[in-house]
Amino acid sequence: MKFVDEAYITVHAGKGGDGCLSFRREKYIQFGGPDGGDGGDGGSVFLEVDSRLNTLVDFRYKRIFKAVSGDAGAGRQRIGKSAEDLIIKVPKGTLVFVKGTDELLGDLIKVGDRLLVAQGGFHGLGNTRFKSSVNRSPRKTTPGSLGEVRDLRLELKLLADVGLVGFPNSGKSTLISRVSAARPKVADYPFTTLSPNLGVVSLNPEQSFVMADIPGIIEGASSGAGLGLQFLKHLERTRIFLHLIDISGTDPEREPVRDFQTIQAELEQYGEKVSKQQRWVVLNKVDLVDNVALESFEDRLRIAGWGGKIYRTSGATGKGCQELMYDVYNWLAEQEQSRA
Tens of pLDDT along 109-139?
Answer: 888 899 999 999 999 999 999 999 889 889 9
Report pLDDT for 276. Answer: 79
User: Average pLDDT in the 261-288 region?
Assistant: 83
> For the chain, what is the mean pLDDT?
84
Shared domain for 131 and 248, answered yes or no, is no
Dmax over Cα atoms in the chain, in whole Å? 107
Q: What is the pLDDT of residues 17-45, one digit of tens each?
A: 999 999 988 777 666 789 999 999 999 99
Q: Are 106 and 49 in contact (CB under 8 A)?
A: no
Q: Which CATH number fits the domain that encloses residue 307? A: 3.40.50.300
Q: What is the pLDDT of residues 163-197, one digit of tens each?
A: 888 887 788 888 988 888 766 544 443 444 445 67
**Segments forming the whole domain that contains residue 333:** 160-339
pLDDT score at 271 = 66
Does one domain contain both 111 and 175?
Answer: no
- Domain co-membership, 249 together with 209: yes
Q: What is the DSSP letter of 103?
A: -
Name the domain boundary from 142, 157, 172. Answer: 157
- Inter-residue long-range contacts of 306-311, CB under 8 Å, 24+ positions, other chains counted: 306/260, 306/281, 308/279, 308/280, 308/281, 309/280, 309/281, 310/280, 310/281, 310/282, 310/283, 311/280, 311/281, 311/282, 311/283
pLDDT of 3 above 90: no
pLDDT band at 277 (very low <50, low <70, confident <90, very high): confident
What phi and psi, each to the nearest 5 degrees, are found at residue 86? -95, 125
The sheet with strand 2-12 has its strands ordered as: 64-66, 2-12, 149-159, 94-98, 104-108
What CATH number is associated with residue 10? 2.70.210.12
If asked whether residues 211 and 280 sit together in one domain, one would say yes
The structure's pTM equals 0.56
| Same domain? 127 vs 169 | no
Give DSSP secondary structure letters for 165-234: E-STTSSHHHHHHHHSS------SSTT---S-EEEEEEEETTEEEEEEE-----TTGGGT-TTTHHHHGG
121 burial via Cβ count (<10 Å: 0-12, 13-18, 19+): buried
Q: Are residues 104 and 168 in the same domain?
A: no
